[in-house]
Structure 1
Amino acid sequence: MTENTPDTPRKGTPKPAENTREERLRAALRANLQKRKAQARGRAAGDNEGQEDG
């Protein structure tokens, strides 16, 4: 009765499908964050250029 079979799910270990999903989500979030940072830097640079002119 205390046999460990490979079909028995274990707590705390994600399934391979869940693991790849987590990796995809992390990659997407990382890319989104980098994109937003680049946009913010572009806006900040654009704001500074406009104020120097006036």
Structure 2
Amino acid sequence: MDQNKPAPRKHKDAQREDRLKAALKANMGRRKAQAKARNMAEQSAQKSGPEAAQDKD
């Protein structure tokens, strides 16, 4: 009977590892999207920043 106990635990550990991998992948995707959005916003602000200030004068 003791031999049967490790098998479910290994299966449970594998499921946990798969869940963690999926969560990490999703998290990295969100972080990349956020970084890309921030970068695009900064580039947009840099392009329109000095020109916008000159147009107001």
TM-score for the superposition, normalised by structure 2: 0.70
- 1:47 and 2:36 correspond: no
Moved over 4 A (4+): none
Using the alignment, how far apart are the partners of 1:34 and 1:47 within structure 2? 20
Q: What is the CA RMSD across the aligned residues, in angstroms?
A: 1.9
For structure 2, the 5+ residue unaligned runs are 51-57
Using the alignment, how far apart are the partners of 1:8 and 1:49 within structure 2? 59
SS of the aligned residue for 1:15 comes to helix
The percentage of aligned residue pairs carrying the same residue is 39
Using the alignment, how far apart are the partners of 1:23 and 1:37 within structure 2? 21
CA pair 8-24 structure 1, distance change in 2 beyond 3 A: closer
For structure 1, the 5+ residue unaligned runs are 1-5
1:35 to 27, 30, 39: 30
Of structures 1 and 2, the larger Rg is shown by: 2
SS of the aligned residue for 2:21 comes to helix
Q: Report how far residue 9 of structure 1 moved.
A: 4.7
